Each structure stands twice: as C-alpha cells, then as structure tokens.
A and B are shown apart, each in its own frame.
Chain A
C-alpha cells in the first residue's frame, strides 16, 4: 500500500508556526514520505538518494512518516541554547517547544525530547528531592558520512570534543558534548563494513 503523504504530518499535531524554517522542515518531512509531486527525481527507490548519514537525513524513505520513531529524552540547562545546538550543529529540526521547559526535536529518525532540569514536566524534582540532571555516559549515537570532517567542523564551531576520533571494531567514533554536558556519539562505519538492514 502506498504511503499516505499526510503521514508525514501525523505526529505530532504541531501548533501553527509561522517561521519559514518551520515550513521548510515540514516540507522536507512531506518530501521524505514521498508526498510531493515529482520534483524531478525518482521517488527514492531503495532510499539511496538521501545523503545517508547526515544526522538530519533519512537513510530511507519512511513509509509511514514518523511512526514509531525512537524517542530519547535529554536533560539540559538552557532550552534555547540546547535547541540551537542540536539544530545548528547536528541538523535537527524543531517540532515543538512548550516553554519554558520542553522542546521536541527530530533528526535522522530520532525524536529527541529536551527537558530542562528543575522545571515542570519531566525535569521536576522527584518526591525525594532529586533533580533530574544532564550528563552521564549514556548517549545517542548518530551516523555521519565523514567523521573526520564532521569533528573538525564541530571543533571549529566551538563544540567541545570529549573524545576525539578513535577506531573501534566496526566503526570509528568520537564523542562530543552538547552545551549542557550531554554526550553525543558520532560514528562512521569502518571501510568495508556495511550495516545489516
């Protein structure tokens, strides 16, 4: 069954936002779902037309828009700073921001929820007073096509590099920090290594 182009709009039901970048992001999502009239290209048979590996790009067309996207919650100190970081440095798109304590971003198939420590919502203190905090070792891992170039660019952009490029078994990887100290892992499959689908 052909994917319904409107599936790209299905979640979340986004509030109307008049910013041009918001409209552009929405258009990209519709396009990714195969919804726009032919803009010249073939509709991504096999999904190889998307630039695989840039965090904001889909590695394949998603037949049902955002259905069942993996979702991760990160705690941050400053919502505006965090949103700017993930948008500008890692190519995420902002989908929703309910000030002051929560934003929802989308990139590369991942839905990233940002919650501000100490504020209402997921950031609120637990009954015992513990406040959910940023940091830790657990992290999202984003595939990039050229790790060396990506790390160089991020470093030049003032992003903290927690662990420079190193060689693993099947990937090369590096760890960067968002402005709140949360780790983000970037990786590039080693030459000759192809991920199973």
Chain B
C-alpha cells in the first residue's frame, strides 16, 4: 500500500487518463466519477481531478476557501525515469505530445519536460550516473 500520492488538476479526466495510460504506461485503478480517476505507475499513485464546485462530494478539487479555483499547470511535477530519453522523446513527439523544452543534459541526468493535455508538466529523465538511477540494474 502506497501512502504517497500526487494529485494533478486536469480539465478533462478522460483525456488525461488516455494520455497517462497510452503515452506513459500508467494503469487505471479507478474512475468512479467524471471528475476523478486514480492511476498507478510503479509505486506512484497519480490522482487526476477536474475542478468541481464547492458543494461537490469529492473534496480534492473544490475551490479554496477564499474562492480561488484549482487549475492545471505550474512547474511542480512528478518525474519518470526512462531508459532511453532520446527514443522516448522521439516517440512522444511523433505522437503529438507537447514539449516545454528540449532535452537538457545535467550533471547526473538527461531530462526533458512534456505536458499532459491540460498543460501539466511531467519530467522524464535518463540517469547518466548510478547515483541518479532509481532502479538497480
């Protein structure tokens, strides 16, 4: 049982499910409400929610008490490790996925930022050094 989740606000839950499932290999765990879905990728649990009114039973995407609407976007993101970033990026680009930048080579990783259909960032990275790797070979 994972006790950590990431919640992303999306405009269209169905479109988001298709994106994360078909492009990034997530599995759909549940989609009990048009405004809510839960996906998993390894130990990552991704909760996708569409903004709902204040009286909606689902509490995760209601407006803030001060009225501020929750919305997609920003820069905070989860990261996914891929074995071959250039290949993954090429495939995603060919499928029409939006990129926020070009592949950047840093100290320990090579990384790139893509966007889901609602404009939420996802960072893909390929470790260049063992200490940056998430999975043991």
- With A164-B65, A166-B62 given, is the CB distance from A70 to B6 under 8 Å? yes
When distances are taken between beta carbons in the complex, the residues of chain A under 8 Å from B100 are 126
B-chain residues with CB within 8 Å of residue A196 when the two chains form the complex: 1
- Once A59-B1, A168-B58 are accepted as A-B contacts, the answer to whether A141 and B134 lie under 8 Å apart by CB is no
Contact: B77 with A173, CB < 8 Å?
Answer: no
Chain B's interface size range is: 35 or more
Task: Give min CB distance, A8 to chain B, whole Å.
Answer: 12
The secondary-structure label for the interface of chain B is loop
B70 to nearest A CB, angstroms?
Answer: 4
What is the interface size of chain A, counting residues whose CB is below 8 A from a CB of the partner? Answer: 57
Residue contact B131 to A141, C-beta cutoff 8 Å? no
Asked whether B59 lies within 8 Å of A11 as measured between CB atoms, the reply is no
Residue of A nearest to B42 (CB): A68
Could you tell me the distance in whole angstroms from the C-beta of B38 to the nearest C-beta in chain A?
A: 10
Specify which chain A residues have a CB less than 8 angstroms from the CB of B60 in the assembled complex: 168, 173, 185
**Interface bits B55-73 vs A (CB < 8 Å: 1, else 0):** 0011111101100001111
User: Which residues of A (57-86) have their CB < 8 Å from a CB of B?
Assistant: 59-60, 64, 66-75
* Interface check A195, CB cutoff 8 A: yes
Contacts A136-B73, A137-B70 hold; do A67 and B3 have CB atoms under 8 A apart? no
- Is A38 interfacial (CB-CB < 8 Å)? no
- Across the interface, B4 reaches (CB within 8 A) one of A60, A113, A140, A173, namely A140
Quick check: B79 and A71 within 8 Å, CB to CB? yes
Q: A60-B1, A70-B44, A182-B76 are in contact. Are A138 and B59 (CB under 8 A)?
A: no
The interface bits of chain A over 130-155 (1 if a CB of B lies within 8 angstroms of the residue's CB, else 0) are: 00111111111111000000000000
Q: Who on chain B is nearest to A65 by CB?
A: B136
Nearest CB to that of A72 among chain B residues?
A: B78
- Would A72 and B101 be within 8 Å (CB), given that A12-B131, A137-B72, A166-B59 are in contact? no
Q: Show 12 residue pairs from A and B whose CB-CB distance is below 8 angstroms, ordered by the A residue.
A: A7-B136, A52-B3, A59-B2, A67-B136, A69-B134, A70-B4, A70-B6, A72-B6, A72-B79, A73-B123, A121-B107, A136-B75
- B interface residues with partner A (beta carbon < 8 Å): 1-9, 33, 36, 42-45, 47, 57-62, 64-65, 70-79, 81, 100-102, 106-107, 111, 120, 123, 130-136
